[in-house]
Amino acid sequence: MSTITLALSKGRIFEESLPLLRAAGIEVTEDPETSRKLILPTTRPEVRVVLVRASDVPTYVQHGGADLGVAGLDVLLEHGSQGLYQPLDLRIARCRMSVAVRADFDYASAVTQGSRIRVASKYVTMARDHFANKGVHVDLIKLYGSMELAPLTGLADAIVDLVSTGSTLRANHLQEVEKIMDISSRLIVNQAALKLKREPIRRLIEAFEAAIPRTATGA
Ligand code: PRT
Ligand code: MG
């Protein structure tokens, strides 16, 4: 029996993947918040979970360190998804990629055609594409966290960041002025594993698909 390795990141992706795993008959038998293990066994002897940073999930799956993984669309767009099979939108860890500015900043005037704006973000590729499509020149400042601070300190005019409840923006007196896109997590699969472990992977994909959360509107 071939082993199946699934890469997940701790936190919301791990938590929200559990019901999908359960639907596939997989229970993770150790809690990543209390265990120091990076390889977690499951109730299915041939299936194991490896815990990696959210932004490292595509790398693990691309190079075969894991057969499958769960990664946010933000991570996939920023990292690139070459050589990855993406069979499912799992509709978990949902949020949106947005532009935010200080409440006293006139965004509408700042993004007229041909203008110039300073934008700080962890998502420089997405930010560059977004403003290029609007015909706005952008000076990009790459940050690794605490993006909310950039407009407050004068480092940048705007940030491009993930928003879910909006409470982080509100707490820092920032305003969401434009949604770039909706974000959710995707199942990604290593291409070689898909060929070599075809049947077990196909069964997993089917079980996950049947358990994807649907909204009340069916959207
Ligand atoms: O935290 P770490 O540096 O280890 O890695 P990570 O931030 O990449 O991982 P994690 O687990 O925080 O996020 C994993 C994935 O969850 C992301 O790649 C997104 O696809 C998805 N996701 C869903 C989110 C959010 N919702 C979210 N709200 N990722 C980040 N956030 C941030 C947001 O940017 C804000 O700073 O959480 C903060 C709180 O958001 P509000 O709007 O609810 O206040
Ligand atoms: Mg985080």
Angle at 176 between CA 11 and CA 214, to 5 degrees: 50
pLDDT tens digits along 8-48: 999 999 999 999 999 999 999 999 999 999 999 999 999 99
List, in sequence order, every residue forming a beta bridge with 95; answer none if it has no partner: 183
The whole-number pLDDT of residue 113 equals 83
Angle at 24 between CA 197 and CA 49, to 5 degrees: 65
The whole-number pLDDT of residue 2 equals 87
Give the C-alpha separation, 127 to 49, whole Å: 32
9 lines ligand 1 (CB under 6 A): yes
72 lines ligand 1 (CB under 6 A): yes
To the nearest whole number, what is the mean pLDDT of the chain?
A: 96
Nearest protein CA to atom 6 of ligand 1, as residue: 54
Give the C-alpha separation, 76 to 14, whole Å: 17
Q: What does the block give as tokens for 172?
A: 């820092």
Mean pLDDT of 181-209: 97
Calculate what percentage of the chain has a pLDDT beyond 70: 98
- Note the pTM of the prediction, 2 decimals: 0.95
Q: How far is the CA of 8 from the centre of ligand 2 (A)?
A: 14
- Structural domains of the chain sorted by starting position, each given as residue range(s) with its CATH number in brackets: 4-93+184-217 (3.40.190.10), 95-182 (3.40.190.10)
What DSSP string runs through 59-117?
Answer: HHHHTTSSSEEEEEHHHHHHH--TTEEEEEE---S-EEEEEEEETT--HHHHTSTT-EE
55 lines ligand 1 (CB under 6 A): yes
